[in-house]
Amino acid sequence: MASRGRAATPTVGKAMLNKYARAFFTRVLTPFAAFLIRRGVSPDTVTLIGTAGVVAGALVFYPRGEFFWGTVVITLFVFSDLVDGNMARQLGRSSRWGAFLDSTLDRVADGAIFGGFALWYAGSGNDNVLCAVSIFCLASGQVVSYTKARGESIGLPVAVNGLVERAERLVVSLVAAGFAGLHKFGVPGIQYLLPVALWIVAVGSLVTLVQRVVTVRRESAEAEAAADREARGSEAAK
């Protein structure tokens, strides 16, 4: 859930806090992070616990329509984004393993959140269309992440800021879910926020996917053209 070892990769915890709030919580959480280090707790352990908490909050509460409390639990565990990163900085660690673990568990957390929405709409929510939209949000989010990782793995920069990337997907969905849950406390009409948010995320994810595919195609063509020019130049120099 955090970003140890990954440069400029937004996480849901960081996206939900502006730079001033993040600086405040970093100061507040630094003693706690230091305490965990003294107790022999590793940043990886905090990452695992944070992800487990997000998964539990999503899959225990969301399928029952308890969107407010589910979002509260998820938000509490989101602070692991700040704690494990803080611990890694104090320990002076920035490893490929940490980056791999964070990225992998991010996908698990995403799947649990949108899977929880899908389970609600497939069951008591009784809306097959929104169930399908939730599943599309889940799948498209995974594919959007894959396109960037795959493009980078073949040596392309994938230099594009998509319309709706991971941080935006989760902030929009979680904020809407939290407010939609207030319907059970008597706030009228607010339950429609979540369906609207899911449609926004679905459309935005599709646009982002197209943006990344087009970018990779362009960068690939440019790289191949540059390689051809270099090869011709080498031949001409002989």
Whether the Cβ atoms of residue 11 and residue 1 lie closer than 8 Å to each other: yes
* 228 annotated as belonging to a binding site for a ligand: no
* 107 annotated as belonging to a binding site for a ligand: no
Sign of CA dihedral 118, 123, 124, 127: positive
Q: Which two tokens mark 51?
A: 């992800």
Q: Which two tokens mark 146?
A: 């894959």
* 47 annotated as belonging to a binding site for a ligand: yes
* 11 annotated as belonging to a binding site for a ligand: no
**What kind and span of H or E run contains 206?**
helix 193-237
* 45 annotated as belonging to a binding site for a ligand: yes
* 81 annotated as belonging to a binding site for a ligand: yes
* 75 annotated as belonging to a binding site for a ligand: no
Give the separation between CA 168 and CA 162, rounded to whole angstroms: 10
Q: Which two tokens mark 97?
A: 């393993």
Q: Which two tokens mark 105?
A: 């568990």
* 22 annotated as belonging to a binding site for a ligand: no
Q: Active-site residue 106, yes or no?
A: yes
* 145 annotated as belonging to a binding site for a ligand: no
* 110 annotated as belonging to a binding site for a ligand: no
Environment class of residue 10 by beta-carbon count within 10 Å: exposed (0-12), middle (13-18) or buried (19+)?
A: middle
Residue type, 103: S
Instruction: Report the binding-site residues for a CDP-1,2-diacyl-sn-glycerol.
Output: 44-47, 85, 89, 95
Active site residues: 106
Residues contributing to the annotated binding site:
44-47, 81, 84-85, 89, 95, 102, 106
